[in-house]
Amino acid sequence: MSNDVLVAVFNADDGGLDPNVWTQLKEWLQPEERVRADKYRDMEARAAFLIGRGMARAMLSEVTGVHPATWQFAEGAHGRPEVAAPDTPYHFNLAHSHGAVACIVGRDREIGVDVEFLKRPAASHDVAARVCAPDELEDVNAAEESERQERFLVYWTLKEAYLKARGLGISLPLSDVAFTLVNGQPTFAPRGTLADVDTRWAFRLAQPNNTHLIAVAVDTRNGVEPNIRFQRFANNRFPIA
């Protein structure tokens, strides 16, 4: 799958996991991951953490043949989880929101994914003005009132996906991570502090259900266009020992 980039989405609405699966997901965790999981007081957040780490291990195992329990992860400078061992050319990224968990896996590329809940409270005009580039804000304001929040979230998820792919966190002005939309397709148009960055990135938008939006950022600086494939992550995809 050298040019394939897989984006899988787990949807809690598809049904609960078998107790044996939960046990397996916990057993795959490293000691420090178990400590982190146990610190979550919100059960939805704890479940999303376990499912996300399990998805990453399962998908990495599918493309390498390495057992899920073998994978070890480390946190990057801004909290991005990365493969620490075994040595591999594959990368992954995770996102979750309100029952949806997304995992992206690719080879020899920086990759990022973000998922947002479309029913979240609408962003205020001040927030949109702070986050959006001038052209983006104009586009958001030009949308019908009923569509304005979703248009804002399109830009928000694209920005988040790019920052996560770069491992930057929210360490620079979001308004500089700018995009244009033509017939719903995003084009990267960085500005300000990012005006000179390489624009060879591929971006995709997807809506896996009626309540969530996903954005994907994939590095194309090697000159090869990725084959980005979206797929559902079914409950039975977690291998049980």
In which domain, by residue range, is 139 found? 4-236
CB atoms within 10 A of CB 51: 23
Q: Classify 232 as helix, strand or coil.
A: strand
Which tens digits make up the pLDDT trace of 137-191? 999 999 999 999 999 999 999 999 999 999 887 778 899 999 999 988 999 999 9
Tokens standing for residue 231:
């797929």
Whether the per-residue pLDDT at 241 is higher than 70: the answer is: no
Q: What per-residue confidence (pLDDT) applies to 79?
A: 82
3-state secondary structure of 78: coil
Stretch 9-32: mean pLDDT: 92
Domain count, the chain: 1
Q: Is 218 within 8 Å of 201 (Cβ atoms)?
A: yes
CATH of the domain at 219: 3.90.470.20
Q: What is the DSSP letter of 174?
A: G
In-domain check, residue 241: no
| pTM attached to this predicted model | 0.95
